[in-house]
Amino acid sequence: MTIAIGDTLPAATFKCFGSDGLVDVGSDELFGGKKVALFAVPGAFTPTCHAKHVPGYVEHAAALKAKGIDTIVCIAVNDPFVMKAWSDHCGSETAVTMLSDGNATFTKAIGMDVDLAGPFLGTRSKRYAMVVDNGKVTALMIEENPGVVENTGAEHVLAAL
């Protein structure tokens, strides 16, 4: 079943790097009592994700926060070391929290997994964006083609707020 507007996100644990190294971030901590702009990409450092998706959220971070977003989160089915390197390379550390769903546990639980074995990427996430208010999905945008950013960019999230 694919997550839908009005659904509550399932419990999950993500990995990222904090000031003390590798840490777990639970969904309660991430979404509880907060309004979050969450977007997911098929892969860190992949052309569309790197050049077209993340930069928009970095560029529009202040505008998103001005409209009530507490946290901007990017999730990918990549390991946390890759996500940290990608965050450093993009300069997104202060704008976007990069989280690893390395085993696609969360991605599968919300029905957003996609088999990209053809181009040797394996199980990945569909490209999507959502607004989550205290754990509940209030806006959801999904790309049919993982190689484009048409309705999941920061501008579309801003319009949904």
Q: In angstroms, rounded to a whole number, what is the distance separating the alpha carbons of residues 47 and 139?
A: 26
Is 90 among the residues known to form the active site?
no
Is the CA virtual torsion 141, 36, 29, 90 positive or negative? positive
Q: In angstroms, rounded to a whole number, what is the distance separating the alpha carbons of residues 16 and 99?
A: 5
Give CA torsion, residues 25, 66, 139, 103, to 10 deg. Answer: -20
According to DSSP, residue 134 is labeled T
User: How many residues are listed for the chain in this entry?
Assistant: 161
Q: In angstroms, rounded to a whole number, what is the distance separating the alpha carbons of residues 152 and 142?
A: 7
Q: In angstroms, rounded to a whole number, what is the distance separating the alpha carbons of residues 53 and 68?
A: 21
Set 16, 49, 74, 90: catalytic member: 49
Q: In angstroms, rounded to a whole number, what is the distance separating the alpha carbons of residues 23 and 97?
A: 13
- Catalytic residue list: 49
